[in-house]
Amino acid sequence: MDVLLVEPSYSNKYPPMGLMKISRYHKERGDYVYFYKGKYHVSNIWDRIYITTLFTFDYDLVIETIKFYYDKVKSLDDIYVGGIAASILTDKFKMDLGLKNIMSGTLTNSSILGFDDGVNIDELPLDYDILDDTIYKYKAGDNFYGYTTRGCINKCKFCAVPKIEGSLDYSNNIKTQVQAIREKFGDKRNILLLDNNILGLKYSDLRKVIYDLVDLGFVRDKTYVKENPFVKLIREYERKADNQSKLSNTVSKLKEYLEKLVDKRISKRNREKLVVILRNINEKNSSFIEGVYENYDELLEIASIYYDKKVYNRYVDFNQGMDARELTEEKMQLLSLLPIKPFRLAFDNLSIRNEYENAIKLAAKYGVKNFSNYLLYNFTDHPDELYERLKININLAKELKISVYSFPMMYAPVNQTDRVYLGEKWNYHYYKNIRSILNVTKGVVAKEEDFFEKAFGKDVDEYNKILTLPREFLVYRYYFEDTGLTRMWEIEYYRLKEMRKLDILLSLLSNNIRESEDPDINRIMIYYKITYNSLKKKYRNIIPKAKEILETRFGLKVK
């Protein structure tokens, strides 16, 4: 059977685990499997095409990609669509595509795909080889990926997990998974666990998970040693040859590795030996790989001397924002056996402030120094609450001498096919400005107090002022501050604040209106029409004028 696995060309951090499991299943059946990210422009007709989906907000791209493959199969029933977005929006996919095989949920039995061998595909170890078929580089790196649980004990309204995975189900196969991957692909340094709520497990189950990870070598001491790259590449070649996979990438990697070895700081004798071997291989008409096998022992001997043999730390990353409400001292004692980095907690709303602060303090007591915490916003929260939560993190970091990064996560309803959604207590102007600030920082809120205060303000009042700024003033902060325009805008802002007219201003701005019948509002509106690019053209004379006013009227010296 010829099988094509497809991931649409959205940008994502983690490799497509679902497809990696499906690949493993088909390769074990003896099928040919190829993976492509995006639209594969070849004339092949495939026996099966599996297309994975992830975020619902990529819906349009996913639909377009699926349709692209319609003429690459004999029958449309040979296209299988699955994964997270397909599980959330199964009916919509079915309606918009008219395909029979839109699958929902996890692949707990191969019968779901029409096979009768009863394999639990969900528990199969991942096939990392498919990642060599694509040039796309997944940011999460070459690590172990897995789940130790599925589902969750909670049913938060903003989350899709209760719908796609149901209640918390403990599946303790992480040990088998990691061991199988080690056997087939060699060791990897870190492990990223995509559970939803690991702390929802009762103590005895959590204990089993943690001890499995400890047994696998994920401990706080250094235990990771890189493998000899030559051995790794030869094993990759042989594994792929067994599966009739495309070998050219591996051969190129092997060639590149050996050529680079010549340039490394190796002994004169070994360099000469290596140069002769490589020249002989190239001069012979046989293939490069045959030459490598002919000189295998000598190459192995040289390669075994020159590679990084240092011992490194490993990291465990529970990718979720862990549930602070469920962190007890007993559970923390268990977690402290692992080299968790970063330690991620969820701070979804102020109502869990006490539990959250206690969880951080407890973790810090057990030596955790690096936190990366998720803060949901634009849901039922008020904008001020985001500031308060960010500030709490800054204060905790200072008080406990730890590092706390905040990752604000913008809410959008889980079944929406775009990300445009405004929380009931938010306005569009604030919403856009928060996104602008986060764009500059790549979504992270600085852990240092001075950076934080510059970005979000010293207090809630200043935060509100920053969120009211014209977007351009926010994005090109220093430029507009230097021209004096920000100061001038501020004067108008405080005037309107006194007059209690800020709500009117924000409502107009949120509706993209830049004119008002109210002269007080119109005075400030001018600043919202200025763009960084047009400044020099249209508002050339504003800068000297601004300077003059600020200097003569307010005694402010402007650069």
Q: Are 455 and 439 in contact (CB under 8 A)?
A: no
The region of 69-77, 84-92, 237-245, 447-455 touching ligand B12 under the rule CB under 6 A is 84-92
Q: Among residues 335 and 546, whose Cβ is nearest to ligand SF4?
A: 335
Count CA within 13 A, CB hemisphere, residue 45. Answer: 6
Among 152, 281, 434, 508, binds ligand SF4 (CB under 6 A): 152
Packing angle, helices 383-400 and 353-365, rounded to 10: 20
Q: Among residues 410 and 437, whose Cβ is nearest to ligand B12?
A: 410
The region of 154-162, 382-390, 439-447, 482-490 touching ligand SF4 under the rule CB under 6 A is 154-162
Q: Does 250 bind ligand B12 (CB under 6 A)?
A: no
Q: What does the alpha-carbon distance between residue 556 and residue 552 come to, in Å, rounded to a whole number?
A: 8
Residue count, binding to ligand SF4 (CB under 6 A):
10
CB of 114 to ligand B12, least distance (A): 11
The region of 155-163, 261-269, 484-492, 495-503 touching ligand B12 under the rule CB under 6 A is 155-163
Among 153, 159, 422, 491, binds ligand B12 (CB under 6 A): 159
CB of 414 to ligand SF4, least distance (A): 10
Is-cis flag, bond preceding 342, omega within 30?
A: yes
Q: Does 50 bind ligand B12 (CB under 6 A)?
A: yes
Q: Are 365 and 354 in contact (CB under 8 A)?
A: no
Q: Among residues 159 and 231, whose Cβ is nearest to ligand B12?
A: 159
Packing angle, helices 485-498 and 519-529, rounded to 10: 150
Residue count, binding to ligand B12 (CB under 6 A):
35
Among 13, 137, 157, 260, binds ligand B12 (CB under 6 A): 13
Q: Work out the angle at residue 183's Cα, subtended by the Cα atoms of residues 179 and 186, and round it to the nearest 5 degrees.
A: 100
The region of 10-18, 286-294, 508-516, 525-533 touching ligand B12 under the rule CB under 6 A is 10-18
**How far, CA to CA in Å, does 298 sit from each of 230, 232, 270?**
12, 16, 10
Site residues for ligand B12, 105-124, by CB under 6 A, read 106-107, 121-122
498, with CB counted inside 10 A (0-12, 13-18, 19+), is exposed
Facing residues of 123 across strands? none
The region of 224-232, 379-387, 397-405, 408-416 touching ligand B12 under the rule CB under 6 A is 408-416
From the list ligand B12, ligand SF4, none, pick the one residue 55 interacts with, judged by a Cβ distance below 5 to 8 Å according to partner type.
ligand B12
Count CA within 13 A, CB hemisphere, residue 190. Answer: 15
Q: Does 377 bind ligand B12 (CB under 6 A)?
A: no
Considering just the CA atoms, what is the radius of gyration of the chain in Å?
A: 29
Q: What does the alpha-carbon distance between residue 185 and residue 177 come to, in Å, rounded to a whole number?
A: 12
From the list ligand B12, ligand SF4, none, pick the one residue 165 interacts with, judged by a Cβ distance below 5 to 8 Å according to partner type.
ligand B12
Among 319, 333, 336, 436, binds ligand B12 (CB under 6 A): 319
Q: Are 129 and 236 in contact (CB under 8 A)?
A: yes
DSSP strands (E only) in 378-473: 403-410
Q: What does the alpha-carbon distance between residue 313 and residue 309 come to, in Å, rounded to a whole number?
A: 13
Q: Which residue is it, tokens 């019968």?
A: 111
CB of 146 to ligand B12, least distance (A): 9
Among 3, 4, 33, 54, binds ligand B12 (CB under 6 A): 54
Q: Does 209 bind ligand SF4 (CB under 6 A)?
A: no
Q: Work out the angle at residue 162's Cα, subtended by the Cα atoms of residues 344 and 371, and round it to the nearest 5 degrees.
A: 5
Give me the 310-339 binding string for ligand SF4, x by CB under 6 A, dash otherwise. -------------x----------------
Q: Does 196 bind ligand SF4 (CB under 6 A)?
A: yes
Among 154, 171, 403, 416, binds ligand SF4 (CB under 6 A): 154
Largest Cα–Cα separation, the chain: 87
Q: Does 155 bind ligand SF4 (CB under 6 A)?
A: yes
